[in-house]
Amino acid sequence: MTKVFLKKQIQNRVLLGHPWVFGNEVAEIKGDVTPGDIVEVFTHKGIFVGKGYINPQSQILVRILTRDRNEIINDEFFYQRILKCWQYRQKIGYVENCRLVFGEADDLPALVIDKFNDYFVIQTMALGIERWKDAIVAALNRIFQPKGIYERNDVPVRELEGMQQQKGFLSAPFDTNIIINENGLKFHVDIVNGQKTGYFLDQQDNRREIRNIVKGADVLEAFCYTGTFSCHAGYYGAKKVLGLDISETAIQTARRNATLNGLDDICKFEAINAFDQLKQWTKEEKKFDVVMLDPPAFTKSRENIQKAVAGYKEINLRGMKLLKPGGFLVTASCTNLVNPELFLQTIDAAARDAKKRLKQVTFQSQAQDHPILRNIDNTTYLKFLIVEVS
């Protein structure tokens, strides 16, 4: 097996458990390099570190799958790993809809599998894991006997690995417009055309957190996408809810979700630029009891972090100004390049500029079915904050 030796001065991150080996961390490679193959990784002294798949085209040269030299990477390996993921989700109470596999946090780098009841959506975002896609599908069939499996590999990161973007059935074709249950409500999921894998499961725990603050409230949700937070607000007793999103398609789905849950009279939605509307209503001094902000990621590159921070500060400042005294701001960021500390600093800066005082109700991360490894920073990506604003 091809052997990869790490440089002495920068190998500690990998030794401490991070599964990524960058090209500039490698001192020497002994043996042939075939993209996607399994290789062994060693320290500069020749001490075994792990086995993983290699791709010279990627900045992440090797992604480590196991630290056990005796473990064989084969079809049974992937079956056992996915079974372990399922057993963990069952232990923590996620059995109907969940992120079954969360990449590096589940020791399956670059693999995402979302479970929507009896349907599964797969993303294989590195060449090495793409090679094992048939084994992964076979494992899902063996463990779950699913009604359908679909791949949503229409993600640009695949091109960095020398692969094409693609999507399609990995099982017999099925109706990809399904309905799931969440927190007592029902939601439409468009597996083929929805964002990411069709639905944002990572906020399912956080959506429950608004249940007390929205009772009898006049609620605004900006960047509402398909209206999941808005519908939760209506379900939890809001007087009226207005959701804004620039996507007409998303707004149509939001209206269908409201209808599905008998919330048409409470939840209204408008296809409009939320940035512009927040700015306009701030000038008009319009007020709400609760403002919810869950924008898309403002950056996917380190070069634009400051621009993203400025964007988060601006929308949160406007959100605070739109609140009645003692109102609640519900705000989130899914940009993994903006860490929790920077996110909170940005919210605090917005409060200073808005001359507001914040009282924290809760600060959380992604749902528990998206595990966080304490030694791998990038497994923590979602920030979710509720504050009282006065």
User: Are residue 369 and residue 341 in the same domain, yes or no?
Assistant: yes
pLDDT in tens, 28-76: 999 999 999 999 999 999 999 999 999 999 999 999 999 999 999 999 9
What is the domain range of residue 59?
Answer: 3-66
Residue 89 half-sphere exposure toward CB, CA atoms < 13 A: 23
The total of structural domains in the chain comes to 3
User: Are residue 165 and residue 196 in the same domain, yes or no?
Assistant: no
Cross-sheet strand order for the sheet of 218-222: 267-271, 240-245, 218-222, 288-293, 323-333, 383-389, 358-364
Look up the CATH number of the domain holding residue 297. 3.40.50.150
pLDDT in tens, 198-241: 999 999 999 999 999 999 999 999 999 999 999 999 999 999 99
Among the listed residues 85, 98, 231, 334, the single catalytic one is 334
User: Are residue 188 and residue 97 in the same domain, yes or no?
Assistant: no
User: Are residue 351 and residue 282 in the same domain, yes or no?
Assistant: yes
Residue 344 φ then ψ, to 5°: -65, -40
Both tokens assigned to 18: 């991070």
Catalytic, 334? Answer yes
User: Are residue 170 and residue 184 in the same domain, yes or no?
Assistant: no
**Reduced to 3 states, what is the DSSP secondary structure of residue 345?**
helix
Longest distance between any two alpha carbons in the chain, whole Å: 69
* Domain-ending residue, one of 37, 66, 95: 66
β-partners of residue 34 are none
Distance, in Å, from the CA atom of 314 to the CA atom of 293, rounded to the nearest integer, reads 12
User: Are residue 252 and residue 372 in the same domain, yes or no?
Assistant: yes
Both tokens assigned to 348: 């605090």
Confidence of residue 299 (pLDDT cuts 50, 70, 90): low
pLDDT in tens, 248-271: 999 999 999 999 999 999 999 999
Look up the CATH number of the domain holding residue 149. 3.30.750.80
Look up the CATH number of the domain holding residue 12. 2.30.130.10
Q: Give the single-character DSSP code of 95.
A: -
Distance, in Å, from the CA atom of 123 to the CA atom of 143, rounded to the nearest integer, reads 18
* Domain-ending residue, one of 140, 174, 208: 174
User: Are residue 154 and residue 184 in the same domain, yes or no?
Assistant: no
Confidence of residue 296 (pLDDT cuts 50, 70, 90): confident
**Reduced to 3 states, what is the DSSP secondary structure of residue 290?**
strand
User: Are residue 305 and residue 237 in the same domain, yes or no?
Assistant: yes
* Domain-ending residue, one of 174, 193, 216: 174
User: Are residue 220 and residue 119 in the same domain, yes or no?
Assistant: no
Distance, in Å, from the CA atom of 388 to the CA atom of 365, rounded to the nearest integer, reads 19
